[in-house]
Structure 1
Amino acid sequence: MTLKISTRLSTSTLPNIRSCSRSSRAKPGAIATSTTTCSRPNAPFVTKVNPILIRALTCLVLTVLLPFKAYAKPYLVFVHGGAWVSGRASDYDELGEKLRSRGYCFKAIDYRLAPAVKHPDQVADLNRAITDLKKEKTADCDPTQIVLLGHSAGAHMIAFWASEHREASIKGFVGIEGIYDIPALVKKWPSYKDQFIQSEFGVAKNWEAASPKNRKLKTQAPWLVLHSKDDELVELEQSAGFEKSLKAQKIRVEYVQLAGATHFGVIESLKEKTSPASLSLERFLKTLKP
């Protein structure tokens, strides 16, 4: 049985976002039903109950999966992929349930999507989520022991965030099938330019500065970089190049090449406790210092 709670995100500094009501908190082990109400924007919109996904985006919602008792393991905060134009946190509820069963708190975040917004607006959404998370008071999940996980475009977001921010509460990063070098991505996959790169990053002159591989990170928190050699959407060289960048900055990094998994298959494999991806994640998390 899963406990799901929708949590308000502050919206004062984000454009085109209206206020959201906050659902009441339930105790671990209880069944929580919650709805979130958003004020109507001056544009067409679609709302859903927990989480809310709105194209013109009127509010942001965090989906929390709490263990049924307190655990001293890191707090896993997940940023989904989808080429910056698609995806939602609720798509990863099953992943959260599997990680919760292993004793972790898990939180997936929603963020605004292109083309309604552009980089770095999604990174601002991530930062707001982290800020709000640190304010939460709960004995069940420790917001001072956060590990950021990002898949594909989500890995780009957490890496770019690390080049802009330094938070003591962030103890580590996990990049999964990540995008770290945008010019190289477009060179390998030319069709991506029109499919989603231009809508997110604009013209080519912007791409180098938006690539985490080319940026100095502000935090020395360690990284686990996972990438399957059988990824059919993002080339292995993205993660290999990012590993070199981290090592050049003297940031501890463990780079694990996986085999036999597709771009989204790696996420599926994390649901299996004994998969190479899960074992790599478990080993990495055990090395993190409080």
Structure 2
Amino acid sequence: MNPEEKSIAVKKFMDLHECNIEDHVYGKVGGIELVATIYTPKIKPSELTKAIVYVHGGGWVGGGRDHFNSHGAYFASKGIVGVCITYRLVPDHKFPAQIQDANCAIRWTRKNTQELNIDPNEIYVCGSSAGGHIAGIVAYAGAVNAFDAAGGNEGVSSDVKGAILFCGYYESREDILEPRAPKPNKVSYFGGTYDEIPEVYQQASCVSYVNKHSPRTLLFHGDADGTVSFEHSKKLKDALDLNNVENQLIVENGGSHTDYSFEKAAFMTTLKEMEKFIL
């Protein structure tokens, strides 16, 4: 499926899953407006519903909030609000700016639960690749001041009920998971190499924050991923298991980093697994 065919197919999919779609500014940092696309049910549910805050991938240097537009529409048609966010990117904004933005989006969502008809205790975070790393920090680090200090709605909780993570970079403390010559975007994101600033890589480890109070987690990863090693999900699952946190790792046998894209066979499978996890 080429890009044009994919665009047409995504539009047809979204048309089949009718919902309301609006853009909102969820925060402001240094004059930068942080925008989210909000997907809400076409007909307002009679009871409070759940919400998913989606964090796009793109190696911390690119991507956009339309990454999860098909997810947003699908789940909104099931009665679940979707909040697909933009966040600040490198090289202009290094770690932890991206974490701060995602936490800000959680706070905005919780602050607006009445308008969005959301149960404030039923907010989930979902991220893919670099977005998986960001969402993982949001889910497990809790109210770390350095991560929860910008954008607006300060004082509102950024806790989440659960995390849904696709092929993310979860363990930054161990070079064994990556080549010794790291990718330039990773160096730009962290502000240097592991050897130069190990303390930053330690601070950025999702695995390091897992504890017995961590939220339930659903993981997806292809075991042949050549972009982000499958070992990252194994390390995270081990930490969750060690702390008796409810979790599930769904492995795409022979799967690559892009096997969860809209045009791939695994796409609908992941939607159904997410639906079971949330509902």
Q: Quickly name the TM-score band, shorter chain normalised.
A: 0.7 to 0.9
| Matched residue type, 1:68 | K
Q: Does 1:157 align with 2:146?
A: no
Q: Does 1:177 align with 2:171?
A: no
Residue 169 of structure 1: how far off its partner (Å): 5.8
Judged with a 3 Å threshold, the aligned counterparts in structure 2 of structure 1 residues 7 and 144 are, in CA distance, closer, same or farther, namely farther
**Whole-angstrom distance in 2 between the partners of 1:61 and 1:168:** 17
Q: 2:35 aligns with which of 39, 55, 61?
A: 61
Q: Does 1:6 align with 2:23?
A: yes
CA contact (8 A) 1:8 1:61 kept: yes
Task: Give 2:185's aligned residue.
Answer: 196
Query: Which is worse superposed, 133-142 or 83-92?
Result: 133-142
| Matched residue type, 1:60 | L
Superposition map of 1:207-218 within 5 A: 207-217=201-211
Task: Give 2:109's aligned residue.
Answer: 133
Residue 124 of structure 1: how far off its partner (Å): 0.6
**Whole-angstrom distance in 2 between the partners of 1:235 and 1:284:** 24
Q: 2:95 aligns with which of 112, 119, 129?
A: 119
**Alignment gaps of 5+ in structure 1:** 19-57
Judged with a 3 Å threshold, the aligned counterparts in structure 2 of structure 1 residues 93 and 125 are, in CA distance, closer, same or farther, namely same
**Alignment gaps of 5+ in structure 2:** 1-17, 144-156
Task: Give 2:148's aligned residue.
Answer: none
Q: How many residues align?
A: 241
**Whole-angstrom distance in 2 between the partners of 1:96 and 1:271:** 19
Residue 189 of structure 1: how far off its partner (Å): 3.9
**Whole-angstrom distance in 1 between the partners of 2:134 and 2:251:** 21
Judged with a 3 Å threshold, the aligned counterparts in structure 2 of structure 1 residues 278 and 8 are, in CA distance, closer, same or farther, namely closer
Structure whose residues are more often helix by fraction: 2
**Whole-angstrom distance in 2 between the partners of 1:59 and 1:271:** 36
Task: Give 1:284's aligned residue.
Answer: 277
Q: Does 1:244 align with 2:238?
A: yes
Judged with a 3 Å threshold, the aligned counterparts in structure 2 of structure 1 residues 110 and 217 are, in CA distance, closer, same or farther, namely farther
Judged with a 3 Å threshold, the aligned counterparts in structure 2 of structure 1 residues 74 and 118 are, in CA distance, closer, same or farther, namely same
CA contact (8 A) 2:42 2:77 kept: no
TM-score in terms of structure 2 length: 0.76
Residue 224 of structure 1: how far off its partner (Å): 0.8
**Whole-angstrom distance in 1 between the partners of 2:179 and 2:274:** 29
**Whole-angstrom distance in 1 between the partners of 2:160 and 2:137:** 14
Judged with a 3 Å threshold, the aligned counterparts in structure 2 of structure 1 residues 10 and 97 are, in CA distance, closer, same or farther, namely closer
**Whole-angstrom distance in 1 between the partners of 2:172 and 2:158:** 29
By relative contact order (CA 8 Å, sep 6+), the higher-ranking structure is 2
**Whole-angstrom distance in 2 between the partners of 1:217 and 1:250:** 9
| Matched residue type, 2:134 | M
Q: 2:125 aligns with which of 148, 158, 164?
A: 148
Q: 1:109 aligns with which of 71, 85, 105?
A: 85
